Structure 1
């Protein structure tokens, strides 16, 4: 692995040398004018016979070099070392999880949401070389965790996921896809995929149109349906009963909308699975992800480095000491 500067943007500090040169030029001109004002050239020469213009200039050069060494020290030269987290072959995968109230329905055991969380956890374990991102959505969508190789952090977020995190009612799959695309942080969608987990209850035309645009950019969306086509009631924690329709007063029946999820997957060359058997679903989706070319990725947060800023710090110190020890006047024999 080659050397690199950790804080390359500090290179702009080196421009201060130009200011030093300007000030040095002003001082030199001031010295000349002062000498001329004294008058008699022979007298002036006698008065400054111990002064060495060469040494004066050389001391200034030493100070400039010391400053540049300080800038390089600040930029922190380093070299990756060790084997943990440096390079891994994989793709970037964003899990987009539906956290709407309908995900509390228990037509699958232990519930739609708990089954979805179990699926994500096992899916992450099955893809150790992939980087992970998380998007939560209900009536709105937002990025819970940007793309990262830190699976442990992702697992914590998954464990804590609940409808309380996104209190806005609804299921905006289109917004979830849009936020998922933003998570990748690039227009180029190669080596990237989305795994969207939802009951797909609300029909979202925006999602279907957006999925077509994602396909054009090379992004694969695999969808996972949670629930049953026959549906069931949604528990209401506030009353201890079932959630009621405010207009009719009747219990709301939440059904799995497979058609929309299937269309999204088909539009992006992905695959749709209804989640009944977690291991089977993981096997199907992994087979689909295997069609995506792998790339070598590195997460700088997990790399181990050897740092060499001390080399420039030592050079700066030596230059400053040399500048202080070097007299400005000529040697006696001069």
Structure 2
């Protein structure tokens, strides 16, 4: 037999109180019986009955278990990939301090809005790779988000095709496994939408066929801003300051093609918390099933026996005076 809970100081205190109170009661009854010239030995019956059912109640509280059951535990939620655009244009200062730094701050602050979901990070610029695999660990995720920067890529560019191809591989690469199609799959694209080029419609079609939800967060302003490069700003070959602008129309069209929604982050408009709530409100599917072996808690045997003895205690009376 195993015990779910150990015998603690609380149980010892209750036992001690019971013994002290009952000892005082027994001594008082013994003195009364002695004065009346009778015996108090019959009270011992009550003592043993009450001591036994008190002990049984304490044993029931400790959770006695014997035998095991195999149960199936299911987890529901969504597999969510945040897809970060880390091209140099994300260093623009039309949002303070920069587009990338602001979105990192807002995401880490509101990440708790995503509840029982696995979340991962994919980053892209001239190419794409998985920065953080899908995980339930929110603290680790915050740490990885805070460390994102545009220097993770040597070559600059905005190759969204590479990100979509990687997502398709991650979500449908194990298509032989029937469990894959049962998972709710979500992409949160975080970008300024500039210089995507022509997207591969075959990849887009495959993403839609796999029922992958797309939500887009546009970061920046239509007026645009200069791009920070160290302590200076990026310039073209003619020495003119480069200006980058949010391509909101393109991003709205992209999200609409997936049946998704478009959100925006500027100095005046902050849709990050609304976006995360929308992600959390999407229909959750089964993520994982695991078989677990658990011990059978048989506390009720002890409690039922204790109740029977309590009933007996009420029915059985003892007399110290014979008339």
Query: Which range, TM-score by smaller chain?
Result: 0.5 to 0.7
Distance 1:211 1:287, change over 3 A: same
Task: Say which of 108, 115, 119 aligns to 2:95.
Answer: 108
Larger strand proportion of the pair: 2
The equivalent residue for 1:201 is 194
Q: How does 1:85-234 map to 2 (within 5 A)?
A: 87-184=74-171, 185-187=173-175, 188=181, 190-206=183-199, 210-234=203-227
Alpha carbons of structure 1 residues 263 and 210: separation in structure 2 relative to 1, 3 Å: farther
Comparing 169-178 and 211-220, the one that deviates more: 211-220
Against the structure 1 CA distance between its residues 149 and 207, is the aligned structure 2 distance closer, same or farther, given a 3 Å change threshold?
farther
Contact 2:78 2:118 in 1 (8 A): yes
Secondary structure of 1:206's aligned partner: coil
Aligned length: 220
Equivalence for 1:60? none
Misfit runs of 4+, over 4 Å: 78-81, 303-307
Q: Which has the higher contact order (CA 8 A, sep 6+)?
A: 2
The alignment status of 1:283 with 2:270, answered yes or no, reads no
CA spacing shift, 1:207–1:150, aligned 2, 3 Å? farther
Q: Aligned-pair distance for 1:121?
A: 1.9
Contiguous gaps of at least 5 residues in structure 2: 1-68, 176-180, 296-323
Q: Is the 1:136–1:166 Cα contact (8 Å) retained in structure 2? A: no
3-state SS in 2 of match to 1:256: coil
Q: Which range is displaced more, 214-223 or 272-281? A: 272-281
The secondary structure found in structure 1 opposite 2:119 is strand
Please give the per-residue CA displacement for 1:42-86, whole angstroms capped at 9, x wherever unaligned: xxxxxxxxxxxxxxxxxxxxxxxxxxxxxxxxxxxx9789xxxx6
Root-mean-square deviation (CA), in Å? 2.9
Q: Compared with structure 1, are the counterparts of its residues 215 and 234 closer, same or farther at alpha carbon in structure 2 (3 Å cutoff)?
A: same
- Please give the alpha-carbon distance, in whole angstroms, between the structure 1 residues aligned to 2:139 and 2:272: 22
Match of 2:42 in 1: none
Contact map agreement 1:215 1:267 (CA 8 A) in 2: no
Distance change >3 Å, CA 236–CA 95, structure 1 → 2: same
Deviation at 1:233, TM superposition (A): 0.8
Pick closer, same or farther for the CA change 1:102–1:208 going to 2, 3 Å: farther
Q: CA deviation at 1:176?
A: 1.5
The one of 234, 247, 260 equivalent to 2:250 is 260
